[in-house]
Amino acid sequence: MDAKGFVIDPRGSKWMPHWDIVMVFALLFVAIVTPVEVTFSDEGKYISVLWVINRVVDLLFIFDIVLLLNLAYQTHSDDGGHWIVNKRRIVIHYLKGWFFVDFISVLPFWAITMDYNDIFGLQAAATNAAMIENSVSESDLRRATVLFRTIKLLRLLKLARVLKASRILQRHLIDIIMVKLEFTYAVLKMLKLVVLLLLWVHWQACLWGLVSNFMDDLGYPNWISHFKEEHLKAFGELTGPATSVDIYGAALYWSAMTLTSIGYGEMLPINTAERYLCACYMFISGVVWTYAIGSVASIATTLDPNGVLFHNTMDSLNYFMRERSLPRPMRHTLREYFQSARKVHQVNQDADLLHRMSPLLQGTVALAANKRWLDHIWFFRDMGITREGREFIAAVAKVLVIRAFISHERLPIGQLYVLRRGLVVKMWRFLGRGKTWGEDMVLDSLELMDHSQAVALTYVETFTLRRNDLEEVLLDFPIASERIRKAARRITMQRALLKYMCVHVKQKSVRSFAPRSEASGFTEVRNGMSLEQKVDTLLGPVLEQTLNDPNAVQELDGGSNPSPKTFKRQASALMMQSWVKPMKTSSPHRLSGAEASPGIGRDTSAALKSSIDQLAAQQKTAFDAISEQQSAMASQLLALTQAVAELKGQSAGSTG
């Protein structure tokens, strides 16, 4: 919805994060200082430093109310999670939400308790002396004190704004902690738990002192009056009567003991009301402490999930080696490998997290993570200029696999390598971080491929790209496919010319690469064929004939013109339906062809099935012809053998 009036969008605002930090500190001040001020402090009648700070905080809260009346907000995820920038809807949303709480928190209750005759308290001592001289009764003083303290309780309504701290924390502060400090959610939960416990201990201490202060003002025996007497006996000559700081320290000490269930010392409830109140505090604190212990135990198990998984893996490895009685040097090698390859296994396991993302996010994340490594491959450079090039690089990044090799291990040929960590040697060349080899996997001629193997001199981590994976990606990117073909032709020409010159001109073997005919003892990556590649092999002639027939192509997908890749996928689905489903004919719930292969029309299925039947008939005819030829050859061989035997017999007879 279009914006009407002045609206602040927090997504693009540069100063909103700073304002949120200011509000966090203001809320912390209210959550910590205000309960202490109301419970243990006698300030409020006169202007002091604390009074000025409170008024500054009130101004910040008032400005925040004005700000929220003009701040765009995001709807709930169930409603689409879109941003509302319409001024009228923003105001209505705020008035129905937190406006009442915010408005109550900034009401000037402090104005009721102010002494306007002496706002700076310069005549406070003289006023108290005059009241004593005028024989003001002690009961009147107590009633005035209780009234003053009751009015101060209204200032605790500011604590309602602390409930809004979650909104501010979720908007920016958590992002700062997670992104800049890189804390995990387990650490964040631990911090939240610590803050919760500290706030509860603080608030419980203030509540414990608040009720006893009222009783003390009314002249009832309570733990505060008892504490004052004991403090005066012990420290009267040194520090004098107990101050507000001393009383708060005693209340905090009692609150911490109550929460942790350690026990009580000298701060015991004196009257019946305090005993009932203390029982309630003990029950609530027990629940809070139980929740804290359970949360800590839960956080401890998820604080380092990768570490827990690694430890379980190492335990399984130790059990495996012990059960099979592996020699000690091999055990040492295995432990060293698993410890070194810990991050590699972790990164490869992150592929499941990548598959949970949307296709766009998968490509974007994979590109951001692997782009700097793909730039080391010379025929991939500068392909990210165009949109198709960026999509191609992102698709290639998704199929990269990190593999680890131990020292002195030979790296198999047949795939492209980008060295991520370690040192290898290949054809007497030492290759370090960022070096590549195996680019000739794009060649069709095995004789021109380099069959010299790289040998790991240290523990090695490499990014690997197989030919099958690259061909699968190239099906969707014709421009990139043409560029790879040009690179393959370039490598072919270079190596063919080099091989010809070395053999026919210099009369010696090639040294810059090892042809297949001259290599021995190499290990090769077995590039298994995918289902679509098997379909290409089995249905090659039929696919080519069908794709060249306009009438047959128009029958696919209700008259649409599918790409070769789409046609191959439909053929794969039909083959799975034709080959796998007949094995389940005994099931009464076997699906029909259209239900088993969604997306393939009846005409398409019939055309593909007819093509497969034709291919099967052709193969059967060819096999029959070969069988007949083999039978004829066997008959001829038998006749020839008999003729040779007869000739040998005749020769033996003539000799005799």
Q: Read off the pLDDT band of 398 (50, 70, 90).
A: confident
Q: Read off the pLDDT band of 226 (50, 70, 90).
A: confident
Top pLDDT among 571 and 53 is at: 53
Both tokens of 14, joined, read 């540069």
CATH code linked to domain 341-518: 2.60.120.10
pLDDT tens track for 415-453: 999 998 899 998 888 999 989 998 888 888 888 888 888
pLDDT at position 402 is: 87
Top pLDDT among 106 and 169 is at: 106
Average pLDDT across the chain, whole number? 74
pLDDT at position 418 is: 92
| CATH fold for the domain made of 183-303 | Helix Hairpins (1.10.287)
Identify whether the C-beta of residue 470 lies closer than 8 Å to the C-beta of residue 396. yes
Top pLDDT among 557 and 195 is at: 195
Sheet holding 415-421: strands in order across? 401-405, 460-466, 415-421, 436-437
Tell me how crowded residue 33 is: count the other CB atoms within 10 A of its CB: 16
Q: Read off the pLDDT band of 234 (50, 70, 90).
A: confident
Residues with Cβ within 8 Å of residue 441, at least 6 apart in sequence: 414, 415, 416, 449, 465, 466, 467, 470
3-state class of 410 per DSSP?
Answer: strand
pLDDT at position 419 is: 92
pLDDT tens track for 270-319: 888 888 888 898 889 889 998 888 888 888 777 777 777 888 888 888 88
pLDDT tens track for 69-106: 888 877 876 777 788 888 888 888 888 887 887 887 78
Q: Is the pLDDT of residue 568 over 60?
A: no
pLDDT at position 136 is: 44
pLDDT tens track for 333-350: 888 888 887 777 777 666
What percent of the chain has pLDDT above 90? 3
Instruction: Report the pLDDT averaged over residues 58-65.
Output: 87
The pTM assigned to this predicted structure is: 0.55
* Of 371-385, 404-418, 586-600, highest mean pLDDT: 404-418
Task: Tell me the domain boundaries of the chain.
Answer: 1-181, 183-303, 305-338, 341-518, 532-583+592-638
Closest CA to 170 of 65, 63, 99, 73: 73
pLDDT at position 584 is: 41
Q: Is the pLDDT of residue 605 over 60?
A: no
pLDDT at position 416 is: 92
Q: Read off the pLDDT band of 606 (50, 70, 90).
A: low
Closest CA to 122 of 49, 53, 60, 48: 48
* Of 9-23, 189-203, 227-241, highest mean pLDDT: 189-203
pLDDT at position 96 is: 86
Instruction: Report the pLDDT averaged over residues 24-32.
Output: 83
Q: Is the pLDDT of residue 138 over 60?
A: no
DSSP symbols for 319-382: HHHHHTT--HHHHHHHHHHHHHTHHHHHHHHTHHHHHTS-HHHHHHHHHHHHHHHHTTSGGGTT
10 Å CB burial of residue 596 (0-12, 13-18, 19+) is: middle
pLDDT tens track for 307-334: 778 888 888 888 888 888 888 888 888 8
10 Å CB burial of residue 322 (0-12, 13-18, 19+) is: exposed
Q: Is the pLDDT of residue 550 over 60?
A: no
Instruction: Report the pLDDT averaged over residues 234-255.
Output: 83
Residue with the two structure tokens 């309504």: 157
- Please count the CA atoms within 13 angstroms of the CA of 262 that sit on its side-chain side: 9
Q: Read off the pLDDT band of 601 (50, 70, 90).
A: very low
Residues with Cβ within 8 Å of residue 411, at least 6 apart in sequence: 405, 417, 424, 453, 454, 455, 456, 460, 462
CB neighbour burial string for 184-206, b if at least 16 within 10 angstroms, e if fewer: eebebbbeeeeeebeebbbbbbb
Report which DSSP code applies to 445. -
pLDDT tens track for 573-595: 554 454 444 434 443 333 333 33
Identify whether the C-beta of residue 156 lies closer than 8 Å to the C-beta of residue 110. no
pLDDT at position 310 is: 82
Q: Read off the pLDDT band of 25 (50, 70, 90).
A: confident
Q: Are strands 436-437 and 415-421 parallel, antiparallel or unpaired?
A: antiparallel
10 Å CB burial of residue 627 (0-12, 13-18, 19+) is: exposed
Q: Read off the pLDDT band of 24 (50, 70, 90).
A: confident
Q: CA 231, 233, 237, 238: dihedral to nearest 10 degrees?
A: -30
* Of 532-546, 565-579, 631-645, highest mean pLDDT: 631-645
The Cα–Cα gap between 92 and 580 comes to: 61
The Cα–Cα gap between 437 and 417 comes to: 5
Top pLDDT among 158 and 286 is at: 286
pLDDT at position 456 is: 92
Identify whether the C-beta of residue 21 lies closer than 8 Å to the C-beta of residue 28. no
Instruction: Report the pLDDT averaged over residues 206-212.
Output: 85
